Amino acid sequence: MELVRQLISNYRNNQMQAVNKELGITDSHAIWFDLPKLKKFIACIESEATKANPDVSEEDLGIRFYYASYPKAEDWAMMENHPIEKEYAERHTLVMVPTLKKADETGEMLNYDFCPSNSGSILAMGSKTGKSAGAETLAENHGTLSPPHDTKVEQFP
């Protein structure tokens, strides 16, 4: 418990403070995803990967978490097909992308980003209709950021 508390404190006292000072904002310090959304994303990765290659094992699959940030409020038009509140403007987020373990040119086994349903490299988040707008890659993004949402539920506020 103390290690977790210290790691969170390190982030807030260093990276978060630097971002807040540089951008002049109050960035979020946490993101929450509901369990059904995570399970659905994992099930989709497994399903699409086995459709593409029935020999893919669970041990070959993973998820890479990319640090990301939402656009400025004045650039919010790019978000019109995505179910994300404008109050998230400029705050950090996470983008989850499936990975597949495979050998590189030297035979070393590495976890590559991949889209199980095609070979594209464009990330897309779910749209308001539940379908991906212009989807080229299976990715998940929208969790609940804190702030702007209430921090009273957090063990490490």
pTM given for the model: 0.78
**3-class SS at 32?**
strand
Tens digit of each residue's pLDDT (9 = 90 or more) over 41-53: 999 899 888 887 8
Q: Residue ranges per domain, the chain?
A: 28-146
Distance in angstroms (rounded) separating the CA atoms of residues 14 and 36: 33
User: Which helix (H) or strand (E) is 45 found in, with range?
Assistant: helix 35-52
pLDDT number for residue 8: 92
Tens digit of each residue's pLDDT (9 = 90 or more) over 56-107: 999 999 999 999 999 888 998 888 888 888 888 898 889 998 988 888 899 9
Tens digit of each residue's pLDDT (9 = 90 or more) over 7-24: 999 999 999 999 999 999
Q: Which two tokens stand for residue 1?
A: 């418990």
